[in-house]
Amino acid sequence: MNGGEPTATARTDPETNTDVATGDDDTAVSLESARDLLIDLVSTPSPSWEEAAAAEVLVAFFDEHDREVWVDDVGNVRAPADDAVLLTSHVDTVPGEIPVRVETVDTDDEVANAGEDVLWGRGSVDATGPLAAMAVAAVNAGVSFVGVAGEETDSRGARHLVTDRDVPEAVVNGEPSGVDGITLGYRGFLAGTYVATSESGHTSRPEPNAIQQAIRWWSAVEDAFDEEDYEPVFEQVTAKPVSLEGGTSDDGLSVEATLEAQLRIPPNLDADSVRETAEAALEVGTISWKETIPPVMESPRTTVARAFRVAIRDQGGKPRLLRKTGTSDMNIYASAWDCPMVTYGPGNSALDHAPDERLSLSAFERSIGILEDVAGRLRGEAA
């Protein structure tokens, strides 16, 4: 499945005194070109199910740098090379239009220091910034890359990928962690649809209708997963209703209610136990569950985690080990592939999906250097 490996140069790792492979200098991507790629991708709308135009931007980028590349059956952009590490992030974004522009920050803020350039636009943080940084690093370091489709909806790209390629030696999943952050854990994800029906009747009657039954069931679910305040959120089940629809049926003979629910699963639990607890609260109605995503918690002592700690320190940073309360494609990779992995990428994750989503361009450039360093170290260890 993998294409030919590009010619590589090498540098010396001061820790081990061994050569570490890097990419071919003739095809190296400059920081100016890296910025151009990032701005081009952010300027190309790519909400889930509409990623094709952004995928073509990536294909053109890899073509320009003499890399084998194609778009697969589900919309993933595949650019194979050295599988010592697979760099992968998602092409899709959530909907929302934010005027794309580069502005210089006047005073220090949560994103950049005074005098730095900041890129505004949907996806700049989640996760077009990490995606573009990985594409550049993959070319410069000569390693495999995949831009996956559908992470914000059904993760169809990641689900297809784990069945359609060999297991890489390591994975770096692209999501915003901050330049110095390394994400090792995510909670799992369980979604379900509750449906109830009751006979129609005058609203003065005391019997609960289907809408009340849906509300009562959800209140019981929240009570079942209620945790002490001192329990870290990462170790709790978070239960959220995401929509509730109800009313009298078209024929006027019944009241109907549909509640869409999402539950986040901590690593100390599994989907089956969370599902059983939610179903135990069910007195009226039915619930159908969608395919689950298991939680993941990686060791900080793997080769890829170590490579990031060294690379971040070499750039003057202080590595931070993170656990995220959400869910990512890393959960899917970890459940299918037995190899070390982390999630990494530039950007403040507090700005995910936000109306003021923006990314420091200096942070973006630093992240490319760290990714190239990590890829080189892992290629050197694999050699």
Q: How many CB atoms lie within 10 A of CB 72?
A: 17
Q: Out of 92, 152, 169, 381, pick the active-site residue.
A: 92
* Distance (Å) of CA 319 to CA 159, 182, 307: 30, 7, 11
Tokens standing for residue 213: 């039954």
The bridge status of strand 358-360 relative to strand 254-265 is unpaired
Q: Out of 13, 151, 329, 357, pick the active-site residue.
A: 151
Structural element, H or E, at residue 198: strand 188-199
Question: Is 151 known to be catalytic?
Answer: yes
Dist. CA 311–CA 329, nearest whole Å: 24
Structural element, H or E, at residue 186: strand 181-186
The bridge status of strand 181-186 relative to strand 18-22 is unpaired
Q: Which amino acid is at 45?
A: P
CA atoms within 13 Å, Cβ hemisphere of 200: 11
Dist. CA 210–CA 321, nearest whole Å: 46
CA atoms within 13 Å, Cβ hemisphere of 214: 25
Cβ neighbours for 232, distance < 8 A, ≥ 6 positions apart: none
Cβ neighbours for 226, distance < 8 A, ≥ 6 positions apart: none
Centroid of chain to Cα 174:
6
Question: Is 97 known to be catalytic?
Answer: no
Active-site amino acid positions:
92, 151
